[in-house]
Structure 1
Amino acid sequence: MSNEHTAGPHSVGRRLIDLVPHIVLIVGVLIFAFPIYVTLIGSTWDAATIGRGSLPMTPGGEAWTNYSQAWSESHGERASYTPVRLMLMNSLIMALSIAVGKIAISILSAYAVAFFRFPLRMVFFWMIFITLMLPVEVRIIPTYKVVADLGMIDSYAGLAIPLIASATATLLFRQFFLTIPDELVEAAKIDGAGPLRFFFDILLPLSKTNIAALFVILFIYGWNQYLWPLLVTNSADMETIVIGITKMIGTGEAANDWNLIMATTVMAMLPPVAVVVFMQRWFIKGLVDSEK
């Protein structure tokens, strides 16, 4: 009996301690999710209700009107905007180009550094690595000058190409390639596999989880770009969704169609969320699984 009495408070205290991380996690999720919920609810009400500052916490009846108007029309009740379908297409092309381009260039450069022996090999690798200390903002003026001289302002090439190089992805692929056993490389040589066959038939299948994880990260990176698209796009036809939302908000509270802004924001969240949900299993496996 004494053992049961002594173990009881101990076990209750342990359960309470185990609950603390879950409580903190739930509170964090609620804090993060509440603005999204308000945006979702606001997208179903009219601009007058939102403008009065008395937005209910239950869905309204204007959802279809708001979303269809934001999707296809270029004007609201108080201002003119770029249609969401056009901005989403621009953002999608930019994000996909950046993600695919970064992965393609990084995996090839990492393959060269990890498996080939050539003069100044490590010098080139460290030159790539040093660019980690040079974000877009630091080199944005010379980059803009080059893009302007090449006539790539207001183009998909101008949006994506300057952001394609990635030292981080190159480093990650190189570190993974260094874990490939030498015996596998030798076996491929004995079987007559040349460099290209070894790369496509062996390395790429082994790297698929790394590629999936990087694709998710790089797609979201490209989707959320703000400063660079702001500089290289002048026409409304080339606006990305992030730039479009910023321009819709503007500076004057009274001139904003908040219902359309919130509908646009909800639609802007859907593609990156879809990518994360669709590739969640590969993403988690690529980050935590040692058996690629």
Structure 2
Amino acid sequence: MIERRPWLTLFSHCILILGIIAVALPIWVALVASTHPAEAFKQGVIPLWFGDQGWITWKKVLFSAAGNGVDVPVWLMMINSLVMALAIALGKIAISILSAYAIVFFRFPLRMLCFWIIFMTLMLPVEVRIVPTYKVVADLSLLNSYTGLALPLIASATATFLFRQCFLTIPGELVEAARIDGAGPWRFFKDILLPLSRTNIAALFVILFIYGWNQYLWPLLITTDDHYYTLVMSIKRMVSVAEGDIAWNSIMATTILAMLPPVLVVVGMQKLFVKGLVDTEK
């Protein structure tokens, strides 16, 4: 029997409300700040209610040069970030699921050694190998290109490990039944493994999309052409002004726009995302 304690319920709700306020307050401040003129922030006081410059600021941010050293509009940077995030997410999933499929269902020499070599790359984040990676990308003339933005980041040991663990739960009887029915390796992968991995793919897509969208250091390093700037790295460039006033209203509007795609992806795929983390559908 569950004991009802009203004071404990009230305490839990208060903690939850405080947590919501702590998370939502910075977003509210950014949204409100985007509706005020840039001069409103010279006094050092942050307004907490909407101003009358919202339409002007958002129109300028979306369709004019972002300013503060960034000479392209935000919509173009959003497209660059979207292309990079989708390429990284889909590329990581494609490579990882194929490599996990080969490691689990094929018998070849040094199979486990290959897996552990892949797994050991978790010890080498992008920041550690960024100089040799930059050298390779520069030698291949991939600077200031979508390929250069995404290609060095599409390998993922974590996704390979997760898909391997998922495939290991598939009963051997299912593999044998598919073989008796005449299903070859490609048909078994396409008709059996992919449907069984649907929720895992969805969960990984959400995580990897956010990872790709929030990339800062790598785009900052390899892009010098404004037309290949991503949204996250451009916010830093907009803040770094040597002379003159910082256009905080435009920066706050850009920040809100940078948050929208990841939020939409999480909300749109929430059901599959949660199911992929807690249920294997086997």
Establish whether residue 25 from structure 1 lines up as the match of residue 25 from structure 2: no
Give the Å deviation of 1:13. Answer: 8.4
Distance in 2 of aligned mates of 1:85 and 1:157: 20
Distance in 2 of aligned mates of 1:134 and 1:27: 38
Q: What one-letter code is carried by the residue in structure 1 that aligns with 2:72?
A: T
Q: What one-letter code is carried by the residue in structure 1 that aligns with 2:95?
A: I
Equivalent in 59, 70, 74 of residue 50 of structure 2: 59
In structure 2, the residue matched to 1:43 is: 34
Distance in 2 of aligned mates of 1:20 and 1:200: 50
Establish whether residue 189 from structure 1 lines up as the match of residue 179 from structure 2: yes
Deviation per residue, 1:189-227 (Å, 9 max, x gap): 111000000000000001010000000000000000011
Question: Would the alpha carbon gap of residues 75 and 233 (structure 1) be closer, same or farther in structure 2, given more than 3 Å must change?
Answer: closer
- Structure 2: 5+ residue stretches without partners: none
In structure 2, the residue matched to 1:271 is: 261
Establish whether residue 180 from structure 1 lines up as the match of residue 170 from structure 2: yes
Distance in 2 of aligned mates of 1:133 and 1:75: 38
In structure 1, the residue matched to 2:77 is: 87
Q: What one-letter code is carried by the residue in structure 1 that aligns with 2:79?
A: M
Establish whether residue 288 from structure 1 lines up as the match of residue 265 from structure 2: no
Question: Would the alpha carbon gap of residues 80 and 174 (structure 1) be closer, same or farther in structure 2, given more than 3 Å must change?
Answer: closer
Alignment of 1:54-203 (within 5 A): 54-74=45-65, 76=67, 81-203=71-193
Q: What one-letter code is carried by the residue in structure 1 that aligns with 2:6?
A: R
For normalisation by structure 1, the TM-score amounts to 0.91
Q: What one-letter code is carried by the residue in structure 1 that aligns with 2:181?
A: D
Q: What one-letter code is carried by the residue in structure 2 that aligns with 1:115?
A: F
Distance in 2 of aligned mates of 1:248 and 1:193: 56
Identity %: 62
Decide which moves more: 26-35 or 109-118: 26-35
For normalisation by structure 2, the TM-score amounts to 0.95
Q: What one-letter code is carried by the residue in structure 1 that aligns with 2:56?
A: T
Give the Å deviation of 1:26. Answer: 2.2
Distance in 2 of aligned mates of 1:104 and 1:80: 34
Establish whether residue 246 from structure 1 lines up as the match of residue 236 from structure 2: yes
Q: Contact between 1:51 and 1:258, CA under 8 Å: does it hold in 2? A: no
In structure 1, the residue matched to 2:5 is: 14
Q: What one-letter code is carried by the residue in structure 1 that aligns with 2:122?
A: L
Aligned residue for 2:182, secondary structure, equals coil
Q: Contact between 1:88 and 1:240, CA under 8 Å: does it hold in 2? A: yes
Q: Contact between 1:159 and 1:229, CA under 8 Å: does it hold in 2? A: yes
* Structure ID, larger Rg: 1
Question: Would the alpha carbon gap of residues 207 and 290 (structure 1) be closer, same or farther in structure 2, given more than 3 Å must change?
Answer: closer
Q: Contact between 1:81 and 1:248, CA under 8 Å: does it hold in 2? A: no
Deviation per residue, 1:205-263 (Å, 9 max, x gap): 01010000000000000000011111110111111001111000115595211111111
Q: Contact between 1:79 and 1:256, CA under 8 Å: does it hold in 2? A: no
Distance in 1 of aligned mates of 2:224 and 2:70: 16
Q: Contact between 2:77 and 2:231, CA under 8 Å: does it hold in 1? A: yes
Q: What one-letter code is carried by the residue in structure 1 that aligns with 2:251?
A: I
Question: Would the alpha carbon gap of residues 60 and 79 (structure 1) be closer, same or farther in structure 2, given more than 3 Å must change?
Answer: farther
Deviation per residue, 1:74-109 (Å, 9 max, x gap): 155x76543101110110000000000000000000
